[in-house]
Amino acid sequence: MNIILLGAPGAGKGTQASMLAEKYNLLHISTGDIFRANIKGGTEIGKLAKSYMDAGLLVPDSVTCDIVKDRLTWEDAQHGYMLDGFPRNLYQAGELDKFATVDLCLNIDVDVNLLMDRICGRRVCACGESYHVSTLNGKTTCAKCGGELYRRADDNPETVKARLNTYFEQTAPLIDYYKKQGKLLTVRGGKGSPNEVFAQICVELDKRI
Ligand code: ADP
Ligand code: ZN
């Protein structure tokens, strides 16, 4: 089963993806993580991506589509995956349809007023876990692996505003795109803990598997 995760920045895509990956044995592919790894590694792609990411803009489609197209040919992607952060506009969705089969689009719907606080209070670990400062009680290390927590470079109010704009202008139209194809599954991600949202997703997903 190949799933697309849709949702505004801060909707909880990454958090839900890591739980879903474990339960349903699906590979989690995050384009944001791929770009951040490239920035860390100092690659050409990383240098290019950084300027767009810092501005809250999308990395050019040609670069992004090539990366995903290649990643989906790896052996570990042949048994089902979740795409987190791709597609992010209608062009990317059209391209994806040329090189992959999408079974389901899981849309995590969160009230826009909650997003700013969620993202600006987010702290992440290199292992992929993320936390919110309000639940850390002053702790600065990851409960899962002990790694040092840090704030993502683009999790500052200015860049977040731009990312939300980009989302509503370019990514939100995908909700309709997948609805028309009969592939849309929307869950409310604004109320309840990550575990409660996860439980809700599992109930819906189990009906479709
Ligand atoms: P979030 O969903 O919280 O904004 P991501 O880690 O998914 O975070 O993405 C961070 C940044 O990486 C985006 O703001 C964008 O600049 C870039 N990016 C990620 N995925 C894509 C994509 N599919 N197309 C273009 N740019 C992307
Ligand atoms: Zn960790």
174: CATH: 3.40.50.300
Question: For position 205, what pLDDT does the model report?
Answer: 94
Kindly list the protein residues whose Cβ atom lies closer than 6 A to any atom of ligand 1: 9, 31-32, 35, 52-53, 56-59, 64, 85-86, 88, 92, 163
- In degrees to the nearest 10, what's the CA dihedral of 157, 8, 63, 128? 80
Cα–ligand 1 centroid distance for 74 (angstroms): 21
Count of CB atoms within 10 A of residue 50's CB?
Answer: 17
Q: Which residues are catalytic?
A: 13, 88, 122, 152, 163
Domain extent, residue 13, equals 2-111+165-208
Q: Is residue 76 part of a domain?
A: yes
Report the domain count for the chain: 1
Q: Is residue 106 part of a domain?
A: yes
Cα–ligand 1 centroid distance for 190 (angstroms): 21
Question: For position 62, what pLDDT does the model report?
Answer: 97
Strand partners for 141: 148
Question: For position 46, what pLDDT does the model report?
Answer: 98
Q: Is residue 104 part of a domain?
A: yes
Q: Is residue 64 part of a domain?
A: yes
Q: Is residue 24 part of a domain?
A: yes
Question: For position 36, what pLDDT does the model report?
Answer: 95
Q: Is residue 82 part of a domain?
A: yes
Cα–ligand 2 centroid distance for 18 (angstroms): 12
pLDDT mean for each 10 residues of the chain (209 residues): 97 93 96 96 98 97 98 97 98 98 97 92 92 95 97 94 97 98 96 93 93
Q: Is residue 99 part of a domain?
A: yes
Question: For position 192, what pLDDT does the model report?
Answer: 87
**Closest-lying ligand to the alpha carbon of 131?**
2
Q: Is residue 54 part of a domain?
A: yes
